[in-house]
Structure formats: C-alpha cells, structure tokens
Structure 1
C-alpha cells in the first residue's frame, strides 16, 4: 500500500516536524501565538490554519505523520498535487470550524483534522483496501473510517474525549467529504459540457431554433435517397414534427444533418 513520497506529502512532513521542533525547543511563543482557540477565531483568523502545524508532543506528532506518510502519497498521486493540498487544508480548516461550533473555549492543536480528511479520501477511493492495524490486524479502509467516525461522534458528544479534539476530527471528515463530492460533481460537469460541445460540433443544426432545424431537415430530397435511408428520414421527420428536434437522440439529429448536407439539401 505504501507509495514513494510525493512532493506535497514530503513538504508537509518536513513543515510539521520542523515547526514542532521550533515551538517545543527554540521558539515557545509560536505555540502561544498560533494555537487555535475557536472562540477567538475572529480575532486570530490565521490560527484556523496555523494550529495544524503545532502538536502537543512527540506521540501526537508521530501519530499524525504516520497517517500522512502511509495514506498521503497514493492519494496525492490520484488527486494531483493541487487538489490534494486543497483537501488537506480544507479538512484542517473544517476541524477549526467544528471546534468553533462545538468546543469554542478549548485550545486546539494538531494536524488530526487534515489527516482524518486524508484517511476519508483514501477510503472513498479505495474502500476495500486492507489496512493492517499494528501490522497484523487487517481492516478494510471503509470499515476503519466508519469506526473512526463513530468513535469521534460518541466521544465528542458523549463528553468522554479527554484532551482529544474529537470535533476537529469530525470537521476534517465532513469538510473532506464535501470537497471530494464537489470535486466529483465539478469533474462530471466538465465532462458533460465537453460531451455536449462535441455533440453540437457534430450537429450543424445544433445552434438553430427548433423551427429552423425542422425547416433545414425539410429540404432533404427524399426521392434522391436510397430506399432504406428514405424510410429512416421519413420516420425521423415525423418524430421531429411530433416531439420537436429535442425529442430526437443526438445520433438521430446527426443522421438528419448528414442527409440535409452542408448546403441544406441532398
């Protein structure tokens, strides 16, 4: 499952480790100035992103970076660098947004929201991929993410989360899901638009009004056609008069356009 490190995964790993070391050992004020306190987000808007690069300790950092290391490269390869980066930061900001809604007074640090978004993206694309917990217990990706969602909901709303920012996890999951669905819709819309343009390019009459299309097809000389084509044209003309040009399939409209020819008659 592990892939070679991709450019943005490598940069994010380096940035997270470097900022943690600086904040923990050399520049402790970074923690003070860049930690997320959701109720102060309006006064400190940069913390909606900066908190993602701070961590509460080595174990916190290690857990998040392991997730990024194992699941990030393959997802970046699939989505492409720009979309992967958007997913990462939107999921992280989603963690800040949910913390603002549900835990406004809590101090929040860590890339967990972004990492949960990465895990969700992985599970949405490869739901049946087996992930080995502790290297020995195989769990399919969709089951693992379902367990994570359930645990975050239970511990967050049940009040038994301790010092873990479960609402940040839920925000990362929710924003990642919304972004990936929007991305799929956008890509599908682009494909539909491309197909429509190709169909219009193949139909000389596509830019005409219904009346003009019918008039153009009406110029087809039936007596000059082969018997089979004559029967098909007659059938389609009757159908077009009854249902309108949009009642024909693209293939049927293209056939009538070919029969009409570039000069409007054949």
Structure 2
C-alpha cells in the first residue's frame, strides 16, 4: 500500500476545478458550462478553447468529487517522479488529446447518423425508422408506435411526414442542442491512471466497494476494459463520454512511450 500527500500541482488542479465548479453552481449569470463544455464540431456552441476548458468543468458534486478523489490517489506519486511542470504538461496533453479523440468519434457517429437519415428520406420504411432510433437515440420512447404505423401504411403521406420530421429532429438535437456539451476531468485522469499503472504497476489501491486492495496494473486495465465495453455497447440513458476516457488513456500511453526515448529526462 502507498501513502499519498497533496503535492503542489495536484493541489492547484484541485483548486482550479473547485473554483470553476463553484462558478458553475453559484454564478448562473455566467454561462460557464455552455462556454466551456466541449461541443461537437459543427455545433453553434463549439469554440476552439473548449478543448482545454471542458476538463475544468463538472456536471455536479458527485462528478467532481469522484474525479478529484482519483486525482489525489494517482497524481502525487507521478508528480514526485516527474516534477510539477511535467505533471501539469502531461495532464493537459491527456485532457486535450481525450477531447480530440472524443470529437473524432462524435464526428464519425454524427456522419453515420446523417447518412442513415438521408437513406431514410430516400426510402422511408417502418423498419428503417425503428432501426434509426435504436441506433442513434435508444433512450427515446414512443417511436415504436409510429414505426408500426408506417410499416402497415407505407404509402401514407402523414406517416411518412411524421417519421421524417422525427428523424430530422434527432439529427438536429444531436448536432445543435445546447445540452450536447461534454465536460469533466475524466479524460485527463485516465491518462494519469494509465501512467500510474505503467510506472507503479504493483502499487496496491483500494477501490470501493471491494474490501481488499488491487494492484494498480489490474485495476487500471479493468477500468479501461469496462470503458471499452460500455463505449461499444451503449445502453439507453448512458451519457458518459467513454471514448474521451479511452482517448485520455491512449494519449497518456503514447506520451509516456515518447518520453521514454529520453530515459534520463523521463526518470
């Protein structure tokens, strides 16, 4: 087991995240969440600075508490190894990289959705309508009734028009909704977790609700495997940015391997 203390860089990251979170919660006249969350490319709410700002914002107290606890657990030993400056640089690279990968995946998913919508416009059927919603908006309810109606009356103009409007509404909601922003330090944190497991693989960590410690290499590998599974098997209501988490871990691994080329500086 290891002992940790709150090192300078970790402390400053904690304070920065808490500061901006308090503004989000208690200064509603400043639309910080909308300005700073990372919106999909092409959204009217997207701005380039969001690749940095999103990682300092959080949705609620549980969100920030969970992320900051893991920062306290994983961060100090890395900061002791690397120093303040390198740790901060690593955190920011992982966070920006996680956001970039998230945007890439989101752009691909949106493009696939738009192609499916265009195909539906060309040949609207009840089966394709239901499949569109199952694939792109699984948490929606009530579309099954319209899908059955369109399937039973494939030439009915009212059914076709209603289904087309519903499909177009989903596309617009995904692309242009003010609620579509991604936020949180988890992407950067997954990079830190990966680095910790790489450099201190046999360090034992307690993970609630397990009553016994687990070696970091197993715990982080399991966490990444869970993110990969949940990211590729989305369930209704799942609004977690799994690919941002995976992106942070991937970018963290790449940075570590690059830094290893200058082994004296890395260690």
Both proteins in one fold, TM over 0.5 = yes
Instruction: Choose 40-49 or 78-87, whichever is displaced more.
Output: 40-49
The equivalences for 1:19-168 within 5 A come to: 19-27=20-28, 28-40=30-42, 44-104=47-107, 105=175, 106-134=180-208, 136-160=211-235, 162-168=238-244
Cα deviation code 1:46-86 (max 9, x no counterpart): 00010001101000000000011111111101111111111
Equivalent-residue separation in structure 2 for 1:90 and 1:2 (angstroms): 26
CA distance in 1, matches of 2:184, 2:7: 21
1:159 deviates by 1.9
TM-score (norm 2): 0.67
Question: Per the alignment, in what secondary structure is the counterpart of residue 22 of structure 1?
Answer: helix
Distance 1:61 1:98 in 2: 22
Q: Distance in 2 between matches of 1:147 and 1:49?
A: 27
Larger Rg: 1
Once the two structures are TM-superposed, the CA of residue 26 in structure 1 deviates from its matched residue by 0.9
Within 2, Cα distance between the matches of 1:29 and 1:180?
36
CA shift at 1:169, angstroms? Answer: 0.2
Contact 1:16 1:54 in 2 (8 A): yes
CA distance in 2: counterparts of 1:173 and 1:57, whole angstroms: 23
2:213 match: secondary structure? strand
Report how far residue 34 of structure 1 moved. 0.8
Where do 5+ consecutive residues of structure 1 fail to align? 192-266
Unmatched 5+ residue regions in structure 2? 108-174
In structure 2, do the counterparts of structure 1 residues 37 and 137 end up closer, same or farther at CA, with 3 Å as the change threshold?
A: same
Does the 8 Å CA contact 2:259/2:266 hold for their aligned counterparts? no
Compute the RMSD of aligned alpha carbons.
2.2
- Structure 1 runs (4+) deviating above 4 angstroms are 40-43, 188-191
Q: Does structure 1 conserve the Cα–Cα contact (< 8 Å) formed by 2:82 and 2:266?
A: no
CA distance in 2, matches of 1:15, 1:156: 29
**How far apart in 2 are the matches of 1:70 and 1:175?**
20
Give 1:188 shift: 5.5
Shift of 1:2: 3.2
For residues 118 and 166 of structure 1, do their structure 2 counterparts lie closer, same or farther at Cα, with a shift above 3 Å needed? same
Give 3-state SS (helix, strand or coil) of 2:240's partner: coil
3-state SS of 1:39 partner: coil
| CA shift for structure 1 position 38 | 2.9
**Contact 1:103–1:167 (8 Å) recurs in 2:** no
Which secondary structure does the structure 2 equivalent of 1:131 belong to? strand
Residue 40 of structure 1: how far off its partner (Å)? 4.2
The normalised TM-score by structure 1 is 0.67
Q: In the TM superposition, what whole-angstrom CA distance separates every residue of 1:157-215 from its partner, at most 9, and x where no partner exists?
A: 22238011101101110111111111111236999xxxxxxxxxxxxxxxxxxxxxxxx
